[in-house]
Amino acid sequence: MNYQNIRQAQKRFYHSGATRSIAFRKEQLKFLKNLIQSNEELFYDAIYKDFRKSRFETYTNELSIIYAEIDYYLKNLKRIAKPKRVRTNLTNIPGQSYIYHDPLGTVLIISAWNYPYQLTLTPLVSAIAGGNTAIIKPSELPMHTMYLMEKLINTNFPKEYLHVVTGAIPETTALLALAYDKIFFTGSPKVGKIVYEAAAKQLCPVTLELGGKSPAILTPSANLKVAIKRLVWGKFLNAGQTCIAPDYLYVHESIKTNVLQIIKEILEKIPYNDGADHYVSIIDQHNYNRLEKMMNADKVYYKNGEHNPEKLHFAPTIMSDVTWDDTVMQDEIFGPLLPVLTYNDFRQVLETINDKEKPLSAYLFSNDAKEKDTFLNILTFGGGCINDTIMHVASEYLPFGGVGNSGTGNYHGEAGFRCFTHQKSVLKKANWGEPNLKYPPYTENKLKWIKKVL
Ligand code: NAD
């Protein structure tokens, strides 16, 4: 079956009204949850083959997030999907005003490789909750996970409702040539622009979940031990292959030596050695080589073990005395390299960051109320944490997304429902009380009255 036929079949299915009822959507969500749960072993197995992700991490940063999202909708969908009655303005009285949450129709979901289940299935859950049909294109890099999702979804859901397309650039390009009612894309800003351009040709709305360099700033007022433990965890989770990983660290000059020492001590206690079940490999040779090129050996302060190119094992590496001229600061790192920069003027740091592309995330470690305020008021970023890293993504109550170069739109929980629905405004008028004022002829006297009323 070619893509155009699938798209057409989904369009017909959507217009049949089959996906609209809340009961149908909840039934599909329950079915999907059950499908994943009853095949959990296959999920663990496939991702381990792709980049040696452990069962613990697969559960905590992939499957549990999908389950939480499904549970959120099972509990809240009826409430958030209910038409909302709003006030009716004077001009429209007598009447009633409503906002209906209409499904968008057929959506295309394209996802990235680094959290292959979560980034593919979480938007899918929202698309289902919104009452849509979906064509899903997972990343081709973790191929075992891609084929697993293809097999499970395509054999358990009718293609006119949900369908996974496997493939790389040619397949995605062919998919992007068709018209959809929404494209949800997770990936790099570079490919985001290709997707945006293709969508523009069809005037198709998009949500773009992109990346960039997300800063972490550590000030002298922070609780250093707690801060650095959380920073190190967030940086080396998934071997740094996390869109919201702290990309680089800014520390105040006065605490630099101490901070570097604590980072080293923490890393020494958790050896991220080759084969450790809490440390994944780099996804492929291309990304491994990219990281090697970013690493300036002269600036390496500490390495937690040895790199092993054959096994795609890239040991957590700390670089110090880094400046914006270094190669490592030119692009998103997306790997286990932590460059440490120093500052003297807190506000100046925020202005320097504001001069760059808007980051997906930002993290501040501080116990000073004024610093926290300045951070929130001066810096533009998609989302983030104060005194933690990453964890804001794990809440279905916080909309997740970037801003500017790091993305447009957001999802998770109610935001995900909004992302895949249209707010349809409807005025229901009464058949009485029709003022003659709005009808021609438009006399000066009518204008006088209109001015009084409006
Ligand atoms: P990518 O942009 O290379 O690929 C993403 C998807 O686009 C894949 O499915 C791929 O097949 C497809 N694709 C690649 N090149 C294409 C082209 N020329 N034309 C059409 N389709 C194409 O991104 P990636 O390497 O998979 O992921 C890494 C990037 O994604 C990083 O920048 C990271 O920050 C970002 N990311 C963002 C989020 C988020 O939620 N904001 C999450 C994960 C990753």
Ligand 1 pocket, 206 CB below 6 A? Answer: no
Ligand 1 atom closest to the CA of 111, numbered from 1: 9
pLDDT in tens, 377-425: 999 999 999 999 999 999 999 999 999 999 999 999 999 999 999 999 9
| Span from the CA of 192 to the centroid of ligand 1 (angstroms) | 8
Calculate what percentage of the chain has a pLDDT beyond 70.
100
Any atom of ligand 1 within 6 Å of the Cβ of 187: yes
Q: Is the predicted pLDDT of residue 272 greater than 90, yes or no? A: no
pLDDT at position 66 is 97
342 lines ligand 1 (CB under 6 A): no
Mean pLDDT of the chain: 96
What pLDDT is stored for residue 434 in this prediction?
84
| More confident position, 432 or 273 | 432
Write b or e for each residue in 24-52: b if 16 or more Cβ atoms lie within 10 A of its Cβ, otherwise e: ebbebbeebbeebeebeeebbbbbbebbb
Distance of CA 266 to the CA centre of its chain: 29
Residue nearest to atom 42 of ligand 1 (CA): 243
Average pLDDT over residues 196-219: 98
Residue 271 has what pLDDT? 77
Domain boundaries, the chain: 3-210+404-426, 215-394
Worst-scoring range by mean pLDDT, 183-187, 269-273, 292-296?
A: 269-273
Cβ 209 under 6 angstroms from ligand 1: yes
209 given a catalytic annotation = yes
Pocket test for ligand 1, best of 145, 185, 243, 332 (most atoms within 8 A of CB): 243
Kindly tell me if the per-residue pLDDT of 93 is higher than 70.
yes
The rounded distance, in Å, linking the Cα atoms of 291 and 318 is 13
DSSP secondary structure string, 17-55? Answer: TTTTSHHHHHHHHHHHHHHHHHTHHHHHHHHHHHH---H
For ligand 1, atom 10, the nearest C-alpha belongs to 139
* Residue nearest ligand 1's atom 16 by CA: 169
Confidence of residue 211 (pLDDT cuts 50, 70, 90): very high
């149908």: which residue's tokens?
24
| Residue 139: band (very low, low, confident or very high) from pLDDT cuts 50, 70, 90 | very high
What percent of the chain is modeled with pLDDT above 90? 94
Residue minimizing CA distance to atom 17 of ligand 1: 169
Q: Give SS3 for 378.
A: helix
310 contacts: CB under 8 Å, gap ≥ 6: none
What is the pLDDT confidence band of residue 300, given thresholds at 50, 70 and 90? very high
Helix and strand numbers, DSSP H then E, in the chain: 16, 16
CA 372 – ligand 1 centroid, Å: 32
Q: What is the pLDDT of residues 35-51, one digit of tens each?
A: 999 999 999 999 999 99
What is the CB neighbour count within 10 angstroms for residue 204?
A: 20
- This prediction has a pTM of 0.97
CATH 3.40.605.10 fits 3-210+404-426, yes or no: yes
Q: Decide whether any atom of ligand 1 lies within 6 Å of the 211 Cβ.
A: yes
Residue ID of nearest Cα to ligand 1 atom 8: 139
Say whether pLDDT at 1 is over 70.
Answer: no
**Residue whose CA lies nearest to ligand 1 atom number 1:** 187
Confidence band of 273 (pLDDT split at 50, 70, 90): confident
* 303-346 per-position pLDDT tens digit: 998 999 999 999 999 999 999 999 999 999 999 999 999 999 99
Tokens (6 digits) for 56: 């613990």
Average pLDDT over residues 249-253: 98
The residue whose CA is least distant from atom 34 of ligand 1 is 211
Residue 140 annotated in active site: no
Residue 210 CA to ligand 1 centre (angstroms): 8
Q: Which of 22, 125, 110, 99 is nearest to 413 (CA)?
A: 125
Is 402 a pocket residue for ligand 1 (Cβ < 6 Å)?
yes
Atom of ligand 1 nearest to the CA of 167: 11
- State in Å: Cα 330 to ligand 1 middle: 18
Best probe residue, ligand 1, of 120, 139, 183, 213 (max atoms within 8 Å of C-beta):
139
On the question of a cis peptide bond just before residue 189, with omega within 30 degrees of 0, the verdict is no
Handedness of CA 378, 379, 383, 387 (dihedral sign): negative
pLDDT tens for residues 8-38? Answer: 999 999 999 999 999 999 999 999 999 999 9
Using the 8-state DSSP alphabet, how is residue 59 labeled?
I
**pLDDT at 454 exceeding the cut of 90:** no
Which DSSP string corresponds to 252-299?
Answer: EGGGHHHHHHHHHHHHHHS---TT-TT-PPPS-HHHHHHHHHH--GGG
Dihedral sign, CA of 318, 323, 324, 330? negative
d(CA 339, CA 333): 10
Contact assessment for residue 192 and residue 215, using Cβ atoms and an 8 Å cutoff: no
CATH class of 215-394: alpha beta
pLDDT for residue 277: 78
First-last CA distance in the chain: 58
List 62, 204, 243, 371, catalytic entry: 243
> Are 69 and 81 in contact, with CB atoms under 8 Å apart?
no
